[in-house]
Structure formats: structure tokens, C-alpha cells
Chains A and B, each alone.
Chain A
């Protein structure tokens, strides 16, 4: 366990390193006088003079050799000194604090919704492999998996918001605003988790220990509760870690589609506006979120799977 968490810690370090190096390359690749732009971002264009730009240049190490500058850049990152946004001039950390809350709210709603949809349906399908529900669910999962997040979002907007006028198409604030973006993400997640649950259930139901439980005299309900639930749960939870990749990717696109003021939306804006400190901050936080969520999955697996505790 300690080893696993240690691995996640190393992974977090790697995320910071990757984001740091890539954004450093980004700064060096940008055209124009970077220092002037950053100084302008910090103090506003009216107050920028050559001296301020020079100060920034020195501070960012743009006048120094690349390797030394890279070292300084990464050192700032390690101290979580993310600088100020070039667009708003606010400290990046403050902006992200707001956005992260919105994103987490959306992501949590999506995960809960997907867990209510995917695994229960998958278990039912896995109990009768090849049955009507199984085949129907496979087709549905194929279709959902073949559509990018934003396309599912567009289709939901076209049908639910525009044609039926049941829910608002975009924006933020009320529960009604949360439904469509969360549902969009949840459908994508459930398409996968239903298949994982289905395969796990089918494998458990065909396993010798399930058969032995039956011949021991256990009824089907007790059998599922005592021998089905945990054995299906372990792979479903473990796979949730992989699914967080889709979740993070989905957050970027779905937030943009629904104008949700989250961190993914902010990242896209920052890229369009070439706001390097914001790009670095949002990408870093999203990467760290991914690692943190995976560490959570590790812990959860540890709790529900006694084999891991014993090992």
C-alpha cells in the first residue's frame, strides 16, 4: 500500500515535470517579447515601461541560458508559484481555486450518475450473457463509445434543450444547468463501466466458486450478495481509475460546449489567448487531479479487496 501511494507521489512529480517542461518550451517558442507581455499582464499596459519588462525578463530567466532558466522554471513550479494570468492579471492560483470547485462539482455529478447507470445494468446483462438486455446494452455501449463527448452533448442539447425545451442548453448556476453536462459525461463513462461490470459478472457467474456456492445450498440472492458483489466490484472500481482519463478529457470539451466556468474551459481559453501561466496552472492541476483520483481508487481497492490487504 505504502508502495502504491509512493508510486502515485512519483507520478505526481512526473506530471509536474511534464507540464513544466512543455510549458517552458511553449514560452521559448512564443513570438514577440514575452517579458513585455507578461509585464503588461501583471501591471496593465498603461504602466508598462522598459524597466518593468526588464525586471520580468530577469525574473523569468528569459535573458539566461536555457538550462538555467528551465531549472528556475521548475523550481517555481515545485513551490506552487504559478505566477499571474496574462489576461486578467490575477494570481493563477486564485483563478484556479474558483474554477476547480465548479469542475469538481460537475465531475462528481457525472461519476455518481454514471455509477447509477453503468454497473447495475452491466451486472444484470452479465447474469444472462447473450440475452436480450446484454445484446441491447452492447449495441448502446458501442454507439456511445463511437461518439465523442461533445457530440453526445450536442445531440442532448438539440433534443432535450432545443426540441423539448426541458432544460437550459448552457450556462451555470442551478441544478437544471448541471443535468445536461453531467449526463453527457455520465453516458460516456457508463458506456465503458457497464461493459466492465458485465464481463466481470459473467466471469463470476461462470466461476467454480459461484457454482460451489450454489451446491452448498445458498439461494441466488444471498449468493450474489456474498460472492458476487465484491468480486464484481473489484474490477469495476479498479477500472474507474482508467476511466478518469475520459473524465478529465471530457471535462475539457464538455465544459467548453456548455460554457461551464470550470478548469477545462479555462485551459481552452488560456490556450486560445496564449496565457502561459494559466495554461501551466490548469494543466498542472488537472494532471494532479488525475493522479489524486487514481490514488483514491487505489485506496478504495485496498478497502474492498482483502487480497490486497493481505499481500
Chain B
């Protein structure tokens, strides 16, 4: 086995993350995946390996790339290896492509200016690469005209054109839905099959599992557990790794059963039809939600999931069909949770002020807020902060709290956990299901994550193109 990359006791410290001395070895033909949550320092480690640490940061320890000590080289010398010996796949492929340059040209320039091919040959190579990646016809498109998955493939072709042996993929799937994620994983695996080295950084257990090879579980800048994926991801020894895996939706225990006899229907939508930009999103679609029930809506991005939710809430009008909402429930009891919790609060006042406004408007008592805070495990100190300075998980719980103040009968939860870490996601989902069950509120859960919807929902609506 050829050792391509070897790290000994590499350590970095920045203002908001730290990497304690870490050692790892990447060999040809065997993927290595670093699995960790936000702020675990895994991206910092990737930057240290690549040599792209932000100005002012330095990595300690030894980094050997293809047998050479690169850790002690000057930035200029390390840069000479980029694209030629080591490639970096970008996190947000859309943003990593020049918005004003056509797809083929962005690949061809690597052949032309990094590999030194003549222009005509570079252009021909670029077209061949794109064709092989199934991007025929997209050569002359601008990044803005590509889907997320296509952009990732173009970026992949551009980064790999010079044929560096080591590939670092930093969260290569964070912006993609399930199907696109599987495509990217297949692409990465092909790289390894050709005898290359692949170091992947991800928060997504499914990606680590699909890649196979070796896995390192990373937390707070430390290796919690490492070993073959087959073992680490099925029978981890480390308690943190066990908790992390248990937080994966597929591993969740079954839902608590619905209380019987309590709930009649609160919402009945029939024969819905909606068109957007000349394209029919859905047709003859029916959704029913009963009190205390969690109804899932699932499908790839852009399929109209959120549109359906907004129609149910009455925020949007359907092009056809009828929506019946229980007339016994006041308008304010129809509520919504948002994907990006900070965007759902008035940004310029403290959370205490925002909640006080709701309490006053609906003549509730502040003690209700305090009771709910305790139940949702929220510390009172959070109230004196602004929304942008509270973590996503806590803020989503505060959003749930705010919604509870108006005693909802129907709650449209629009990807409420897609921006949260695995464990926070599980906590939040438990609360949401608990809310449906205890309060008899119907929850319409929109998510791109099939496994999650399958676990949590009593009933599922699938939307396809």
C-alpha cells in the first residue's frame, strides 16, 4: 500500500475552533473520512493539510505529501503543489465556479494553464471530461444555469483535470439532496478505484458509510474513534460515536403512538394543483391532517414541498382544488416553523422583547414562557440575546416555544432541522412530535430526508417531478 499523505501530531488553533495534535495516514485506493459536527475543527484540519489556513494561523506538526515534508514549506512552495499533487473539492460548488464563465472553459483552463496543454487540446479534454460525467449539453452553460449536482460535477472536473493523486473533499454534499448526494459519493469512489487518495470531511454519516474505507470520528478537535468504516459505523466503542450514530434518523426508535379517539381532521386539502414558472409542481394532490398527527412531505429540492405547506397555511393560493381548514380554530392557531431559525425572528430586538410582544398581543401570562423554557431545556440567559447570537438548535426550540404561546392546531414545519447537527436534529424532532401528541396539534413536516420522514411521520406525501 502506497502512503500518499501522512500527518503526525498536527495541531491548529483559531478563534472558534481548535485541532489538538492529530495523526492520520491516507493510502492509495482506500478512502479516509473525517466525521464530525459543526465546530469540531474538521475543516481546520483539512485547511492545514491543503495549506489554505487563513492568514495568521499556523499548523504545528508534520505533514508529508507523497513522501515529501510539506508542512515546513513556504506558502509559495505549497501552492505549487495545488492541482498538481493535491486537489480540493469545494464545499459550495455553485459559489466555487466563476459566475461569468462557461462550464467547459472553467475545466479547460486547468488543462491549459496548470497542465500546459495547447488551447485546442485543453478544450477537447474539457469536453471529454464533462461528457464522461454526464454533462453533455452543459458545456456552454454558466454556473447560474446549472443545478447543484451539475455544478459539483463541473467543479470536480475542473479540480481533477491535472490528475493530482490526493483529493480532499470538504463537505462535498452539504448543499445537495439525497439523490444528488449519492451521485457525488459515486464520483468520489471512482477516484479511489483508480488508485487515488481521498480524504473526505463530512457531517453526514450516510456519506461516510457509502464511501467505506476508514473513518475518524472527530469532536472538539480530537479523534474520538477511528478504524474501518464497517466497524466504527456499526459497533462503535466510543460513547460519543455511539450517540452520534444513534442520532441518525435511520437509527431512531419508533414514534410514540398517537392517542386514540382525540383527533378529528383539522385540514383537508383536495385536488390541489400548482404551477410555477410554466412548470406544473403538482396536480390532483390531496392532503389530510388530523389533530395530533405528523404528516410528512418528502421529495427532491424544487419539487414544491414548501409551496404545498404554504398553500395549506393559506399563505399561497393554489391554482386549483380546495383547502378546508377547521373553522372552529382561530386564524392565529395556524403556524409555521422555518428552515433558518434566525430569519424568523425580528433581528433587532432581544428574544425577551420578541416573546413579550407575543405574550402581550395574545394576553397570555409570562409565567407560561418560563414553564415552557424549562420544558424545552432553554436557559433564561438566552432571552437577553439577539437572534443571530443564539445557536440554531436553541433558536429553533425558541421558535417552537413562541408558536406554543398561541396554542396551535396546525403547524407547518418547513425543513426545521436541515441546518442543525445530527444530535440537535434528534432533540428538536422529539420535541416536535411530543408537541403534536401532547397538544393535539397537527404537524405538516416538510423534509428532503426520506429516512427522517419515514421515522417521524404517521403518514407521508411524496412529491416527485
Chain A interface residues (CB < 8 Å from chain B): 207-209, 211-219, 222, 226-227, 230-231, 234, 305-307, 310
Contact B101 A212 (CB under 8 A): no
Contact A217 B98 (CB under 8 A): no
State whether A231 and B114 are in contact (beta carbons under 8 Å apart), knowing that A215-B50, A215-B88, A217-B84 are contacts in the complex. Answer: no
Contact B97 A212 (CB under 8 A): yes
Measured CB to CB, the nearest residue on chain B to A209 is B98
Q: Among B88, B91, B95, B99, which residue has the most Cβ atoms of chain A within 10 A?
A: B99
Over the window 78-108 of chain B, the binary record of Cβ atoms lying under 8 Å from chain A Cβ atoms (1 yes, 0 no) is 0100111001101110011111111000000
Once the chains are docked, how many angstroms separate the CA of A52 from the CA of B92? 78
| Contact of A306 (CB < 8 Å), options: B91, B95, B142 | B142
Once the chains are docked, how many angstroms separate the CA of A216 from the CA of B107? 10
Chain B interface residues (CB < 8 Å from chain A): 50, 52, 79, 82-84, 87-88, 90-92, 95-102, 109-110, 113-114, 142, 144-145, 155, 158-159, 161-162
Once the chains are docked, how many angstroms separate the CA of A226 from the CA of B106? 9
Q: What distance in Å separates the Cβ of B50 from its nearest Cβ neighbour in chain A? A: 7
Q: What distance in Å separates the Cβ of A204 from its nearest Cβ neighbour in chain B? A: 9
Q: Among A213, A215, A217, which residue has the most Cβ atoms of chain B within 10 A?
A: A217
Once the chains are docked, how many angstroms separate the CA of A211 from the CA of B51? 12
Q: Which residues of B sit under 8 angstroms from A310, Cβ to Cβ? A: 142, 144-145
What are 9 A-B pairs with beta-carbon distances under 8 A? Answer: A207-B95, A208-B91, A209-B98, A209-B99, A216-B87, A217-B82, A226-B101, A226-B113, A305-B100
- Name 14 extra pairs, CB < 8 A, besides A207-B95, A212-B97, A214-B52: A208-B95, A212-B90, A212-B159, A213-B98, A215-B50, A215-B88, A216-B83, A216-B161, A217-B82, A217-B110, A218-B113, A230-B101, A234-B100, A307-B142
Q: What distance in Å separates the Cβ of B339 from its nearest Cβ neighbour in chain A? A: 22
Once the chains are docked, how many angstroms separate the CA of A208 from the CA of B239? 37
Q: What distance in Å separates the Cβ of A232 from its nearest Cβ neighbour in chain B? A: 11
State whether A218 and B109 are in contact (beta carbons under 8 Å apart), knowing that A208-B90, A230-B100 are contacts in the complex. Answer: yes
Contact B102 A216 (CB under 8 A): no
Q: Among A212, A213, A214, which residue has the most Cβ atoms of chain B within 10 A?
A: A212
Once the chains are docked, how many angstroms separate the CA of A230 from the CA of B101? 9
Once the chains are docked, how many angstroms separate the CA of A223 from the CA of B158? 14
| Contact of B99 (CB < 8 Å), options: A222, A226, A307 | A307
Q: Which residues of B sit under 8 angstroms from A222, Cβ to Cβ? A: 109, 113
Q: Which residues of B sit under 8 angstroms from A217, Cβ to Cβ? A: 82-84, 110, 113-114, 162
Contact B102 A306 (CB under 8 A): yes
| Contact of A216 (CB < 8 Å), options: B95, B145, B159 | B159
Contact B114 A218 (CB under 8 A): yes
Q: Among A211, A213, A216, A234, which residue has the most Cβ atoms of chain B within 10 A?
A: A216
Contact A214 B95 (CB under 8 A): no
Q: Which residues of B sit under 8 angstroms from A213, Cβ to Cβ? A: 98
Once the chains are docked, how many angstroms separate the CA of A310 from the CA of B158? 22
Measured CB to CB, the nearest residue on chain B to A223 is B113
Once the chains are docked, how many angstroms separate the CA of A235 from the CA of B91? 26
Measured CB to CB, the nearest residue on chain A to B141 is A310
Q: Which residues of A sit under 8 angstroms from B102, Cβ to Cβ? A: 306
State whether A215 and B95 are in contact (beta carbons under 8 Å apart), knowing that A226-B101, A310-B142 are contacts in the complex. Answer: no
Q: Which residues of A sit under 8 angstroms from B155, Cβ to Cβ? A: 212
Contact A307 B100 (CB under 8 A): yes
Q: Which residues of A sit under 8 angstroms from B142, Cβ to Cβ? A: 306-307, 310
Once the chains are docked, how many angstroms separate the CA of A64 from the CA of B158? 74
State whether A226 and B145 are in contact (beta carbons under 8 Å apart), knowing that A209-B95, A218-B114 are contacts in the complex. Answer: no
Q: What distance in Å separates the Cβ of A134 from its nearest Cβ neighbour in chain B? A: 15
Q: What distance in Å separates the Cβ of B112 from its nearest Cβ neighbour in chain A? A: 9
State whether A215 and B159 are in contact (beta carbons under 8 Å apart), knowing that A208-B90, A208-B92 are contacts in the complex. Answer: yes
Q: Which residues of A sit under 8 angstroms from B84, Cβ to Cβ? A: 217
Contact A226 B92 (CB under 8 A): no
Report, nearest first, the 9 A-B pairs whose CB atoms are least far apart: A217-B83, A217-B114, A212-B96, A208-B95, A215-B88, A209-B98, A208-B96, A227-B98, A216-B83
